[in-house]
Amino acid sequence: MATMTVGTEIKEVLEQLGLKENNNGASTGKGWFSSNGEEIKSFSPVDGTLIGSVKSATLADYETAITKGQAAFKEWREIPAPKRGEIVRQLGDKLREYKIPLGKLVSYEMGKSYQEGLGEVQEMIDICDFAVGLSRQLNGSTLHSERPVHRMYDQYHPLGVVGIISAFNFPVAVWCWNTALAWICGDVCVWKPSEKTPLTAIACQNITQEVFDANDVPEGVSSVLIGDAELGKAMANDKRVPLVSATGSTRMGKSVGEAVGKRLGKSLLELGGNNAIIITPSADLELVIPGVVFGAVGTTGQRCTSTRRLIIHESIYDKVKDILVNAYGQIKIGNPLDESNHMGPLIDKDSVETYLAAIEKVKAEGGKVLVEGKSLSGEGYESGCYVSPSIAEVENSYSIVQDETFAPLLYLIKYSGDVNNAIEIQNDVKQGLSSSIFTNNIRESERFLSAGGSDCGIANVNIGTSGAEIGGAFGGEKETGGGRESGSDAWKVYMRRQTNTINYSSELPLAQGIKFDF
């Protein structure tokens, strides 16, 4: 890394995480590859400061990472799963040691609040804990054979090299959701993080390598490649990578899914969301308001699970609207490392322009902007990435509402009649990630959770759309991609299933009763 211009506190954080300045920006860390590629500079959206720069990886570096990964896989897969789990347990402990500096770097490089940065590292710790227990439970099934004196069962084996493409908004947690499970399953991982958050990625590799070196883990089990979309394309088209896990926009996911599908590989896609909360007449508004506000402005609206749409019954519509407008007037915006602030910056100036253009499109389509977001300038906002949040009254059919705006833009939509009408509005978008209903009516909540209810991968009752527990599988349907990460039985996507039949008799019965006279 090179060209650090940050203040003393952040410089100490970088040094704690092994991100030390050198003369040319080339990589010196084990497991991350860069050589003669273009320089990638990381500017903080918090204050516009250049945090550091790295040389991007080339396709030659990609080839090195895959080759090392293939070699390491042959050794790693032979280590018993509980022993692989022990190494992941140590990684969880190491992340506990580095939680504060890594959380600060996440906040400073990405722009989310410090508490959210710490929370993201905690997610890494939690998935490591989950994976440790799972390493002793990668169980198959014993099946009854139709043939006498035969035993049949299925079991799971590791896939090989797992490619991971992640987005800027969760620069460390999503990587660990994949790696912790892939490693205990016996896979090796090659990671292409977002170019917008390269330093948090290198910090993760440094922490991991510290644990791996202490356990003589073969080089290549964990690799990171900092670079542009060409690396992701190479990964998607590489038949040596049996599984590609990609998190990001629907446009990107379609490209990855098509390329992987053409070679009959496996893809795990976590793509866009257009998440709605239904508010029924019986809803407890003391629960609704904090759930909505956090869901809409948390991470400055840059979560895939951020609340985009509120579908409110006409009988309480005006009351909810007035409370929300008042609440938005109390949101504090500023440096996310200051814990008194509720909202930090967007990731970059391009995102600011996209956000402001979306507000104008709402107006052009006939929407009424109740709270109009603006670009903020002046003291504390020098980076040019700060905005205020927006609320607009719209129809669900507007084209701007049908698409995901990755910013704090909240749409209010009125519904009449029963909950089925609200569910129909909710489901009438291309995406299907997270959804929620606030109601004290058990019939409404059960309808929402039924087969004819929410069509999303996540459906909550009396909590918001944003946030997920490690123990549950995370992902969505439709243009969200259909992938599942983290808990439940999501581990199975990182393995291949094999059915085994054992004949322990002295005869060989053939299928369909066929016999040969030899």
347 and 429: one domain? Answer: yes
Q: Check which CATH number belongs to the domain holding 449 and give it.
A: 3.40.309.10
Per-residue tokens: 27: 């990589």
pLDDT of residue 7: 86
228 and 82: one domain? Answer: yes
341 and 358: one domain? Answer: yes
pLDDT of residue 1: 53
In-domain check, residue 50: yes
Q: Check which CATH number belongs to the domain holding 227 and give it.
A: 3.40.605.10
How far is C-alpha 181 from the geometric centre of its chain's CA atoms?
14
DSSP label of 316:
T
pLDDT of residue 346: 98
In terms of C-beta density within 10 A (0-12 exposed, 13-18 middle, 19 or more buried), how is residue 64 classed? middle
pLDDT of residue 28: 46
For 175, what's the count of Cα atoms within 13 Å in the CB-facing half-sphere? 29
Distance separating alpha carbons of residues 368 and 362, to the nearest angstrom: 8
**Active site residues per annotation:** 270, 304
> Do the strands 409-415 and 390-393 form a parallel or antiparallel pair, or are they unpaired?
parallel
354 and 428: one domain? Answer: yes
pLDDT of residue 32: 72
Distance separating alpha carbons of residues 383 and 276, to the nearest angstrom: 31
Given a contact cutoff of 8 angstroms between Cβ atoms, the answer to whether 168 and 106 are in contact is no
Longest dimension (CA), the chain: 92
222 and 239: one domain? Answer: yes
Residue whose C-alpha is closest to residue 267's, from 258, 276, 280: 258
pLDDT of residue 25: 38
In terms of C-beta density within 10 A (0-12 exposed, 13-18 middle, 19 or more buried), how is residue 481 classed? buried
Beta bridge partners of 309: 276, 411
- Which amino acid, one-letter code, is at 7? G
Task: Indicate the pTM of the whole model.
Answer: 0.95
Distance separating alpha carbons of residues 468 and 483, to the nearest angstrom: 15
488 and 452: one domain? Answer: no
pLDDT in tens, 17-61: 998 765 333 344 567 766 678 999 999 999 999 999 999 999 999
Beta bridge partners of 43: 50
282 and 264: one domain? Answer: no
26 and 51: one domain? Answer: yes
243 and 294: one domain? Answer: no
pLDDT in tens, 91-116: 999 999 999 999 999 999 999 999 99
Please tell me the total count of domains within the chain.
Answer: 2
In-domain check, residue 505: no
In-domain check, residue 118: yes
Q: CA–CA distance from 456 to each of 275, 301, 313 (Å)? A: 9, 19, 21
In-domain check, residue 502: no
Phi/psi for 54 (5° steps) reads -135, 155
In-domain check, residue 210: yes
Beta bridge partners of 278: 311, 437
130 and 258: one domain? Answer: yes
Return the beta strands (E) in 356-432 as ranges. Answer: 368-371, 390-393, 409-415, 431-432
- Residue 78 makes CB contacts below 8 A (sequence gap 6+) with none
pLDDT of residue 21: 63
In-domain check, residue 333: yes
In-domain check, residue 510: no
Distance separating alpha carbons of residues 166 and 319, to the nearest angstrom: 40
Per-residue tokens: 304: 């895939």
- Which amino acid, one-letter code, is at 473? A
In-domain check, residue 112: yes
Element (H, E) at 293: helix 285-297
Given a contact cutoff of 8 angstroms between Cβ atoms, the answer to whether 48 and 382 are in contact is yes
pLDDT of residue 5: 65
pLDDT in tens, 299-326: 999 999 999 999 999 999 999 999 999 9
455 and 354: one domain? Answer: yes
Domain limits for position 344: 275-474
198 and 286: one domain? Answer: no
Full pLDDT tens readout for the chain, 518 residues: 545 567 888 999 999 999 876 533 334 456 776 667 899 999 999 999 999 999 999 999 999 999 999 999 999 999 999 999 999 999 999 999 999 999 999 999 999 999 999 999 999 999 999 999 999 999 999 999 999 999 999 999 999 999 999 999 999 999 999 999 999 999 999 999 999 999 999 999 999 999 999 999 999 999 999 999 999 999 999 999 999 999 999 999 999 999 999 999 999 999 999 999 999 999 999 999 999 999 999 999 999 999 999 999 999 999 999 999 999 999 999 999 999 999 999 999 999 999 999 999 999 999 999 999 999 999 999 999 999 999 999 999 999 999 999 999 999 999 999 999 999 999 999 999 999 999 999 999 999 999 999 999 999 999 999 988 999 999 999 999 999 999 999 999 999 999 999 999 999 888 777 888 77
pLDDT of residue 23: 35
